[in-house]
Amino acid sequence: MNLQTHASKAAEIPADARVELVFQDEPLPELLASDDSSLSGLLSELVGSPEMKGKAHESTVLHTQGKLSTRRLLLLGAGKRDELTLERLGKLAGQAARAAQRQEWKSLVFGGTLLVAGMDVAQVAEALVGSAVMGLMSLDTYKTEDQSKATLETMVLADPSRQAALESGGKRGLVLGEAANTARSLVNEPGNDLYPAAMAEKVKALAEGAGLSVEVLTASQMRDKGMGLLLAVGQGSDNEPRLVTIRYGDFEGKPTLGFVGKGITFDSGGISLKPGLGMQDMKTDMSGAAAVAGAMLALAQLKPQVNVLGVIPMAENMPSGKATRPGDVVRGMNGKTVEVVNTDAEGRMILADALVHAQELGATHIVDLATLTGACVVALGHVATGAMGKPQEWVDQVMNASRAVGEKIWQLPIYDEYRELIKSEIADMENAGGRWAGPITGAWFLKEFVKDETAWVHLDIAGTATIESDVPHLPKGASGVGVRALVRLAEEIAAG
């Protein structure tokens, strides 16, 4: 994507289309008065009519017939002005980009009405560009039909007095949008192409291409390190597990963050086999791993002064004569034993060994991301990520970073009483806690592999990792959740 910023008015820039906002219960914005005059009052006649009341995500395209610098005006309803947020601005930009893609426009200008008074211009530019880039992503990689349609090539931000802020924010948005799209493209890959070894190689190539240091552990090397939980999950598949560690930063005196992402490249449930209906979606069970990979790529470009480990355990959970059985007892990297009562509670097992590994490498503050439990979807739907962890200050910081980039999140408790639900008669713990409090018992399991002195947050993204149906700003499929939040968190830690 070619991003341009100009020290001139948006209305003066030639392009296939210019995007402008219309607010609910308000007349035509003053910024569009000149355009309205050039169009013989058409805009003032349209705004407020049943065709364009300004409700969020309403849209109308006007052909300007040579009377304006742009060939078209794309008017988007922004809702009520006092309810406008950076998140909504981003969604509107994504909607505009998708409209441009459908109509085969090659250039798009974000007009002056999007630079809303009272909002930080650089943050607005970041939200506009990042979300627009995400809105442009195509999910039809495997279709063989003609893909020769024209695509949006240029996005333009313009303002005579704020070009520097637009440029800095726009460039950040471009980096973050592309990083989120990398994560989304990984999630959308089918399991036959993105099995653990293939995913490890792909992530390694991307990370090394960005100048990052990468280590890949094979099953044999994991066995030497005592990663019995990760190996137990992967042993039923012909595709052996992998564990990838990506390193960013070598800043003396700076803390070391650990980002740990669940990488189940396909989850059949193992011997505790899932129902067939919807099982094809289990290729997305590595969304946490993809988010960590995307965040690390963004950090390599944005270069905050903080040390970060991206730890990504990868396995394929399959039933076979070699698979772990319900009732088996396996030992984790920290020596704790686990009675496997449900082989479909596998994500927490691979994360457990990865958490221990991250701490051994020096991580003092950890965030793990996982499509861990369907129970979290029952609790929070597809709107909010579930958060659990300790201490509360660290939980608050992670949640605030998520909210700052427009990702909704909600904290669930991990009271001591919940630990009783994973109590085992023959081992240190069971890997599943039964019907009740599923997200919390999953978090409690992980907590058993986190040292008392380590700050840790578990993010259950089972409901937010994918979009169930098309929305105005994004197509159905992977959402890229977590990428921007992790980057924001790392930058906040770097800033002190």
Rounded CA gap, 106 and 59, in Å? 19
- What kind and span of H or E run contains 394? helix 392-404
Distances (CA, A) of 47 to 74, 80, 91, 109, 248: 13, 14, 21, 20, 50
Helices 347-360 and 438-447, packing angle to 10 deg = 30
Which residue type, as a one-letter code, is found at position 274?
A: K
What does the CA dihedral 267, 192, 382, 310 come to, rounded to 10 degrees?
A: 80
By annotation, the residues acting in catalysis are 274, 348
Both tokens of residue 272? 């505790």
Rounded CA gap, 23 and 32, in Å? 12
Both tokens of residue 13? 């820039």
Residue given tokens 């018992």 in the structure block: 441
**Residue 134 Ramachandran class (φ > 0 left, ψ -120 to 50 alpha, else beta):** alpha
Rounded CA gap, 288 and 480, in Å? 9
Which residue type, as a one-letter code, is found at position 117?
A: A
| Strand pairing class (72-77; 59-63) | antiparallel
Phi and psi of 131, rounded to 5°?
A: -70, -35
Q: Within 13 Å of residue 273, how many CA atoms lie on the same side as its CB?
A: 8
Contacts (Cβ under 8 Å, ≥6 apart) of 30:
none
Helices (H) and strands (E) in the chain, counts: 14, 20
Phi and psi of 26, rounded to 5°?
A: -130, 150
